[in-house]
Amino acid sequence: MEVEKDPKFIALREQAMRDREQLVLRDAKDVISVKLAESTLPEITRKRLESALAANAPTTAEGQLDKPALEKRIEESIAVEVEYLANLTGAGKITGMGQSDPSTADVTPELEKAFEALGHAPAAAKVAAAGRK
């Protein structure tokens, strides 16, 4: 009987392949965890990236973890997520600093009335209302 056709040999070879995959997965998760912990990404994003990156960890021709390729993939993923979150949250944009679309309606008559109600003479209210332009 040929060794390669022996059911015990086949079972052991398959088990060895599964064990190697588990080692690669464990090593990949370790590298990914360290790299993501160094990032400023929110925890929920880090967890999602950790799962996605570990599932597709690059390996060498010998079946070992390709650490440089994995680190590059992690860095690229972090950059993509940072850009996505910046666009999503509007990071870097000033907000809440007043009206961003100034009205073109003339509010001078309302301002004149408001200044007159404060006790200004009609001529002074007109000057005060025009002073904001």
- Residue in the structure block whose two tokens are 């990032």: 39
Distance CA 43, CA 34 (A): 13
Distance CA 115, CA 126 (A): 8
Structure confidence at residue 68 (pLDDT):
92
Over range 3-30, report the average pLDDT.
85
Distance CA 57, CA 66 (A): 8
pLDDT of 52 higher than 80: yes
Beta bridge partners of 65: 59
Structural contact between residues 59 and 22, judged by C-beta atoms closer than 8 angstroms = no
* SS3 call for 1: coil
Q: Report the chain's mean pLDDT, rounded to a whole number.
A: 84
Query: 57: which DSSP letter?
Result: -
Q: What is the pTM of this model?
A: 0.57
**What confidence tens digit (pLDDT) does each residue in 68-85 have?**
999 999 999 999 999 888
Write the single-letter amino acid at 12: L
Element (H, E) at 84: helix 67-89
